[in-house]
Amino acid sequence: MNQTCRVCGEAAAGYHFGAFTCEGCKSFFGRTYNNLSSISDCKNSNQCVINRKNRTSCKACRLRKCLMVGMSKSGSRYGRRSNWFKIHCLLQEQNGNNNNNNSAAAAAALQAGVLYQNAMIHHSFLGSAGGGHKQLKQGSVEDVRSTPDSMLDDGFYCKSVSPPNSEKESLSPPDSEKESVSPLFPNNIIFSPFLKPAVAADLGVFGRLPLLSSLAATREASAENQQQDEPIDLSVKTQPSALKQAPLDLSK
């Protein structure tokens, strides 16, 4: 596999729920996503730095890290992706062996695209079903996939998107007073400004949990710390508006 878990840093077992993760973080995300009530509040101001040793200590920060790196239950099942996706993904990874910056940017764009895609899916469901996040399987998947715009799951839609500012809300910025806390998000993970609507949509899913209320603030802070590395264009296959019209369930 020759990849590291984007959540804890351990050797990755594969590409799970939209990010390269280890078996532990994969199972954790799969369990926790459907049982958010089992998470207790962080006792460290939601600033825990997750690594292999302490990943089981704070479930709140572990799940937050999972979401930060783009994991989503409803999106990005590798097996269902088209050959175009697989080839693109592997190509980006192989290019990374020759150029580290491009690798990081490619990974960032990969995560960003998946995150945005999933966020749009979440957003669609929230707008129609009214907040239930366990009803994803009720979406008429086959109907959607039979529409003329059914190529949605074959590509990314992370470029030239005009973000809707309706759900943007001002959240308290993270306190930068503790000097002992290393930055939560390493520099090689890039979050572009156009991802803000995705963040807003994700918060719409998890917003009722106070422990995740600081996600948006952290994400915006990361966007401000954006590096000069340029995310690789993974091409745009369809209009993003199509995503909002037809809810898409990539799972099963």
Q: Which residue number, 23 or 229, has a Cβ lying nearer to DNA?
A: 23
Rounded to whole angstroms, the Cα distance separating 42 from 18 reads: 24
Residue 126 touches which member of DNA, a copy of itself, Zn ion, none, C-beta under 5-8 Å by kind: none
Q: Which residue number, 169 or 179, has a Cβ lying nearer to a copy of itself?
A: 179
Residue 180 touches which member of a copy of itself, Zn ion, DNA, none, C-beta under 5-8 Å by kind: a copy of itself
Query: Which string of x and - marks every residue 178-207 that binds a copy of itself (by CB under 8 A)?
Result: x-x---------------------------
Rounded to whole angstroms, the Cα distance separating 192 from 113 reads: 10
Tokens 């995740």 — which residue? 212
Residue 45 touches which member of DNA, a copy of itself, Zn ion, none, C-beta under 5-8 Å by kind: a copy of itself
Give the one residue of 3, 4, 44, 188 binding Zn ion; rule: CB under 5 A: 44
Rounded to whole angstroms, the Cα distance separating 222 from 210 reads: 20
Query: Using CA of residue 84, residue 88, residue 94, residue 98, what is the dihedral sign?
Result: positive
Does residue 171 come out as left (phi exceeding 0), alpha (psi in the -120 to 50 range) or beta?
beta
| 11 three-class SS | strand
Residue 73 touches which member of DNA, Zn ion, a copy of itself, none, C-beta under 5-8 Å by kind: DNA
Using rule CB under 5 A, residue 5 touches Zn ion: yes
21 forms beta bridges with 14
Give the one residue of 45, 94, 97, 235 binding a copy of itself; rule: CB under 8 A: 45
Give the one residue of 6, 16, 122, 196 binding DNA; rule: CB under 7 A: 16
The residue range among 36-44, 161-169, 194-202, 208-216 that interacts with a copy of itself, by the rule CB under 8 A, is 36-44
Tokens 């590798």 — which residue? 78
DSSP secondary structure letter of residue 209: S
Give the one residue of 5, 12, 25, 58 binding a copy of itself; rule: CB under 8 A: 58
Taking each helix axis from N to C end, the angle separating 196-206 and 100-129, rounded to the nearest 10 degrees, works out to: 50
CB 92 within 8 A of CB 110: yes
Query: Using CA of residue 116, residue 231, residue 154, residue 32, what is the dihedral sign?
Result: negative
Using rule CB under 8 A, residue 40 touches a copy of itself: yes
Question: What does the binding site for DNA look like in residue numbers (CB under 7 A)?
Answer: 13-18, 22-28, 30-32, 38, 55-56, 59, 73, 76-79, 251-252
Query: What residue ranges bind Zn ion (CB under 5 A)?
Result: 5, 7-8, 10, 22, 25, 42, 44, 48, 58, 61
